[in-house]
């Protein structure tokens, strides 16, 4: 499986793009920057978007992507998540007030979006996506993504959590965990309330992870980026790297 980082910043400013990962050519995990980072012809290839949670920095570009590909879709783009998370998108984003309801509006052939609720897993093109709840102030899930050779985890936004790591520990060939650090150590209270990690909180969390995968960190708040880089370096965690925009990985 191939993964490309479209965005992985904890905020928006020039040069900063919010969370979105492209898997192979046609699958997104979150869509914080899908329309901003992908060319129009690349956007036309997106068929499925897995959604970790309803926060704007993870979903905002679904709106612009749907608009961009309106004329050319022959089947709807599938929005995949728990029923609860999808309901939030229906009620609060694609509600004909904030943005058109593209699950109803048709281009003459089909609607542009379709909701695909899942409870546990979905397999697409030989890749299985399993979902597990994580710790965040809104309903939120992390993913175990298992290809033919190996698996990876994308945690979505989370503070300290349990089940996702327990399941990750059972993976035979876990290559990498993509997870978050958002706030510097001095903002531990804010991080706890907001369901995010500080560098110190993340170091403590590592005691739950057993199989020594590579750790790719995203979601640094732009305002604290310099301080966070210092604090993350000071942790001296082997196999920890920050993700880079446009970086490609093969697993
Ligand atoms: Zn969030
Ligand atoms: Zn976020």
Span from the CA of 221 to the centroid of ligand 1 (angstroms): 12
Span from the CA of 151 to the centroid of ligand 2 (angstroms): 23
Closest-approaching ligand to the CA atom of 136: 1
Neighbours of ion ligand 2 (CB under 5 A): 57, 157
C-alpha 80/C-alpha 52 separation (Å) is: 9
The domains found in the chain, sorted by start residue, are: 2-250 (3.60.15.10)
C-alpha 11/C-alpha 34 separation (Å) is: 15
The beta strand positions in the chain, using DSSP E, are 2-7, 20-23, 27-29, 48-50, 77-81, 113-117, 121-124, 127-133, 141-146, 151-154, 174-180, 214-218, 240-242, 248-250
C-alpha 62/C-alpha 112 separation (Å) is: 11
Closest-approaching ligand to the CA atom of 140: 1
Q: Which of 169, 153, 176 is nearest to 249 (CA)?
A: 176
The beta strand positions in 134-221, using DSSP E, are 141-146, 151-154, 174-180, 214-218
C-alpha 227/C-alpha 191 separation (Å) is: 15
Angle, vertex CA 34, rays to CA 218 and CA 131, nearest 5: 60
Q: Residue 86: enclosing H or E segment and its boundaries?
A: helix 83-92
Closest-approaching ligand to the CA atom of 221: 2
Task: Tell me the longest C-alpha to C-alpha distance in the chain.
Answer: 57
Per-residue pLDDT of the chain (251 residues; tens, 9 = 90+): 999 999 999 999 999 999 999 999 999 999 999 999 999 999 999 999 999 999 999 999 999 999 999 999 999 999 999 999 999 999 999 999 999 999 999 999 999 999 999 999 999 999 999 999 999 999 999 999 999 999 999 999 999 999 999 999 999 999 999 999 999 999 999 999 999 999 999 999 999 999 899 999 999 999 999 999 999 999 999 999 999 999 999 99
Q: Which of 156, 143, 164, 154 is nearest to 210 (CA)?
A: 164
Closest-approaching ligand to the CA atom of 138: 1
Phi, psi of 232 (to 5 degrees): -70, -40
């Amino acid at each position: 499986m191939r993964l490309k980082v479209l965005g992985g910043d904890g905020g928006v400013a020039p040069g900063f793009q919010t969370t979105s990962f492209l898997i192979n050519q046609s699958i997104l995990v979150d869509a914080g920057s899908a329309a901003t980072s992908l060319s129009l012809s690349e956007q036309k290839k997106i068929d499925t978007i897995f959604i970790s949670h309803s926060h704007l920095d993870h979903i905002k570009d679904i709106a612009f992507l749907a608009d961009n590909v309106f004329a050319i879709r022959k089947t709807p783009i599938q929005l995949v998540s728990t029923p609860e998370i999808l309901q939030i998108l229906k009620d609060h984003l694609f509600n004909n007030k904030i943005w058109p309801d593209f699950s109803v509006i048709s281009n003459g052939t089909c609607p542009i979006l379709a909701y695909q609720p899942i409870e546990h897993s979905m397999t697409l093109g030989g890749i299985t996506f399993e979902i597990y709840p994580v710790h965040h102030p809104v309903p939120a899930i992390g993913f175990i993504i298992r290809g033919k050779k190996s698996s990876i985890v994308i945690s979505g936004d989370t503070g300290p959590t349990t089940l996702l790591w327990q399941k990750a520990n059972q993976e035979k060939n876990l290559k990498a965990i993509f997870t978050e650090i958002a706030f510097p150590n001095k903002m531990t209270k804010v991080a706890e309330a907001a369901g995010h990690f500080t560098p110190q909180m993340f170091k403590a969390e590592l005691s739950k992870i057993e199989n020594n995968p590579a750790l790719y960190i995203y979601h640094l708040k732009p305002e604290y980026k310099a301080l966070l880089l210092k604090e993350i370096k000071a942790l001296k965690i082997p196999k920890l790297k920050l993700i880079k925009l446009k970086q490609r990985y093969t697993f």
